[in-house]
Amino acid sequence: ENCFVFSKAIPGRVGYQCSNYWRGLVKEGDVTDPNYFFDGKKLHFKRNTKQFSIKPEYRKYAITINRDISGIWKPLPKKHPKHPSDQYCEEVKQALSGQHSSDNNAISNNKNKNKNKRKKRKRRNNNDDSDEEFEGPSKRMKRDEDNNINNDNPLPEFKDIITGCNIIRPAISPYGHVLGYDTWTKILRTTKKKNMCPFTWQKMTRRSLVKLTKDNIDNYRSQIMNITDEQLKLMTEANNNHQ
């Protein structure tokens, strides 16, 4: 949750990149992080319960390094120097012991729901008299277009800081800020000064945006900049004054 703060000290990196890299290390077994539960496919973050709240020190330091290509951590496996006591770790384990089964039940329920949905769609498609079997060209084109956009999204887990949702059609500004393309176009049309970057108040237009794809993302990763709290505040104040 502090990856955005952590990433500020790393040139050319943003919070989601650091978070994804760490999660990859956990999946591969390079590190053991008891804050996560791995179901074999996805990582699930262990959250506090109503009865038990995990200490911040545990969240930060309850890790064990299993493999280290840098050679800094020796001997392996190596616990963090500030690793909580075994007694507290066992206390956390016992307190959250029911969370695994809950996660597994939720995963199983989601799989069953998806399976039932597929069965229903299949039955509808097999019914020759069903009106839902017909899909007009415009609807089909829109669906195919959406699928292509999703498949070519190089930042599927990146949050659009304006909408709060996963980013769709990411686009980078000349100043390194990344938002969804539709978010950018709306901002450039409706903020106090049109065709001005709302975070830097420098001139920019829709044509100066670059849509990020899987083919070009490597050319722009180093240019991606965090949107600071000060910049968000500047944009909010400008919008309030405009209203």
pLDDT in tens, 148-161: 556 889 988 888 88
Q: How many residues does the chain have?
A: 243
Burial group, residue 78, by CB count within 10 angstroms (0-12, 13-18, 19+) = middle
pLDDT band of residue 88 (cuts 50, 70, 90) is very high
Tell me, what's the pLDDT at 43? 84
β-pairing, 210-211 vs 78-79, is unpaired
Tell me, what's the pLDDT at 12? 63
> Cβ distance 18 to 7 under 8 Å?
yes
Given phi > 0 = left and psi -120 to 50 = alpha, else beta, which region is 71? left
Tell me, what's the pLDDT at 42? 85
> Cβ distance 218 to 224 under 8 Å?
no
Q: Which long-range contacts (CB under 8 A, 24 or more apart) does 160-169 make?
A: 161/227, 161/232, 162/187, 169/211
Sheet holding 170-172, edge to edge: 178-180, 170-172, 210-211
| Angle between helical axes of 86-95 and 97-126 (0-180°, round to 10) | 40
Average pLDDT over residues 177-194: 83
Burial group, residue 166, by CB count within 10 angstroms (0-12, 13-18, 19+) = middle
More confident residue, 22 or 121: 22
Average pLDDT over residues 49-54: 87
- Cα-flanking dihedrals φ and ψ of residue 185, to 5°? -65, -35
